[in-house]
Amino acid sequence: MPGPSNTLLIEGSFEELTDELAHYIDEIKKKQGEENTSVQAEITPLLEQGQKDDALKKLVNGSTILNAAPEKEFIAAYNLLVHLVRQSPNLDRFLPKICQNLSQPITSSPANGPGLALSVLTTIFNILPSDNDTRYHVFLAILRVVRSSSTFENLKSQLQNLDSWIAQWETDEEDQRKLYLGIADVAEESGEVEQAYLYLLRALRTLTLDEASSEEARSLASRALKSALSHPTHYDFQDLIALDPIQALRKSDATSFELLEIFSSELLDDYTDFKDEHDGWIEEQGLDDAILYRKMRLLTLASLAASTSTRSLPYQHIAKALQIPSEDVEMWVIDVIRAGLVEGKLSQLNSTFLIHRSTYRVFGEKQWTEVQGRLDTWRSSLEGILSVVRLEREKVIREKERELRELDGRVNGNSGGVGMGGGRRPREIDAGAD
């Protein structure tokens, strides 16, 4: 897989190495029964005349046969070819053909062929400067090999560098879309449905508003919509519904868009009504009704939890909304908690679900109204609490003032009693003059 840049060290002059590789290609051709032309004979006069690029063209065109080279010699032969074409100022002229060859089956080693091809392609990728846009085409070839060999796991660790690579290559939107779709295809075939969906979204985001109604945009939008609906653990559709190509489905594919809106913000009753109105449509689209029913039940329960003002849901309320027997309520509550849509606990004694945390599936005018109502309720409650606290505080202050007055009265009363009693009176002293 792509990694740090490296260097190929091969000794010999260009002419000597070119002649040596041409001879090797001719030998493989003989073994494969293809002796109609000799690459060595064709390039010899070109090398003598100093026509290096013309000689390389003959060499690269004949290099397809290298896919039949013995397994032990395969990488060395291709590395020599890469070393030679790197000496041309027109590198972009030759590398696409080499990448195309490596994307084809390696007939000499069907079992290890993909690994051999990836090794050479990785070498090509890493010896190119990081800002060389030829790396883009090499990466596409790597994707084709990974797809044919189902080795997406080996590529995943490198995808963290994709954004920086795209910036360095200055790739336009169309090429970005091609790259994202290539990754999505590989991920989907490898069973990485979440990764596939994420790169489908990235591909959709490369489409401009003017392109949102194109046939390509409609195809991608439908694919992303089905992927989101079919994924058993994908519950957030806001990232999808906000995209222009998805919004364009409102006119070009109104039924699909209606279904997406139901999963985005509506309840199970709306889904069953949709099914009745569009009988057989779900199956015609290749969607699994069992998966959709299960997901819709979980989303409905999440909406109930988010909209209740009491932070508790009776079992009978849940059973009615989810169209299930009362004895199945606890199982569905546990499932919605596991899905991360709601947090809470079951009260079997009271047959209620106590909600600790819930999340709105969509946040619009209705949800703002609910939040305002809750805030008003909380404010009223807080004002009531503050009023009680204020009254108690005033009561305490009055009590303390009363106690202080009583204490002062007792103190003053005791002080007056000393002068009025029958004790000794102070002796008077005459301070007058004689």
Question: Alpha-carbon distance 176 to 169, whole Å?
Answer: 10
pLDDT tens column, 368-381: 565 666 677 778 77
Q: Phi and psi for 133 in degrees, rounded to 5?
A: -70, -5
Average pLDDT over residues 180-193: 93
Assign 150 a pLDDT band (cuts: 50, 70, 90).
confident
Q: What's the confidence (pLDDT) of residue 415?
A: 57
Question: Alpha-carbon distance 128 to 7, whole Å?
Answer: 9
Which positions ≥6 away from 58 have C-beta within 8 Å? 22, 39, 42, 43, 46
- Strand order of the β-sheet with 342-347 is 312-314, 352-358, 342-347
Q: Angle of helix 289-307 relative to helix 268-277, nearest 10 degrees?
A: 140
- Give me the chain's average pLDDT, please: 88
Query: Above 90 in pLDDT, residue 383?
Result: no
Query: Above 60 in pLDDT, residue 417?
Result: no
Question: Alpha-carbon distance 17 to 9, whole Å?
Answer: 13
Question: Alpha-carbon distance 14 to 172, whole Å?
Answer: 36
Average pLDDT over residues 220-239: 92
Query: Above 70 in pLDDT, residue 396?
Result: yes
pLDDT tens column, 29-75: 999 888 778 999 999 999 999 999 999 999 999 999 999 999 999 99
Query: Above 90 in pLDDT, residue 429?
Result: no
Q: What's the confidence (pLDDT) of residue 384?
A: 83
- Range with lowest mean pLDDT among 158-172, 312-326, 402-416: 402-416
Assign 401 a pLDDT band (cuts: 50, 70, 90).
confident
Let me know: does 325 contact 345? Beta carbons within 8 Å: no
Average pLDDT over residues 187-207: 93
Q: Phi and psi for 346 in degrees, rounded to 5?
A: -90, 135
Helix (H) or strand (E) holding 420: helix 365-420
Average pLDDT over residues 242-248: 94
Q: Where are the alpha helices (DSSP H) in 150-214?
A: 152-156, 162-169, 173-189, 193-205
Query: Above 70 in pLDDT, residue 298?
Result: yes
Question: Alpha-carbon distance 228 to 208, whole Å?
Answer: 22
Question: Alpha-carbon distance 118 to 186, whole Å?
Answer: 15
Let me know: does 352 contact 319? Beta carbons within 8 Å: no
pLDDT tens column, 349-361: 999 999 999 877 7
Average pLDDT over residues 400-412: 81
Assign 238 a pLDDT band (cuts: 50, 70, 90).
confident
Question: Alpha-carbon distance 25 to 120, whole Å?
Answer: 17
Helix, strand, or coil here: 314? strand
pTM, two decimals, is 0.76
Q: What's the confidence (pLDDT) of residue 411?
A: 80
Spell out a b/e string for 50-72, using b for 16 or more CB atoms within 10 Å of the CB, else e.
eebeebbbbbbebbebbbbbeee
Report the chain's C-alpha Rg in angstroms: 40
Q: What's the confidence (pLDDT) of residue 274?
A: 97
Assign 157 a pLDDT band (cuts: 50, 70, 90).
confident
Burial class (CB in 10 A: 0-12, 13-18, 19+), 330: middle
Let me know: does 138 contact 147? Beta carbons within 8 Å: no
Chain center to CA of 94: 36
Please give the angle made by the CA atoms of 112, 39 and 100, to the nearest 5 degrees: 40
Average pLDDT over residues 243-269: 95
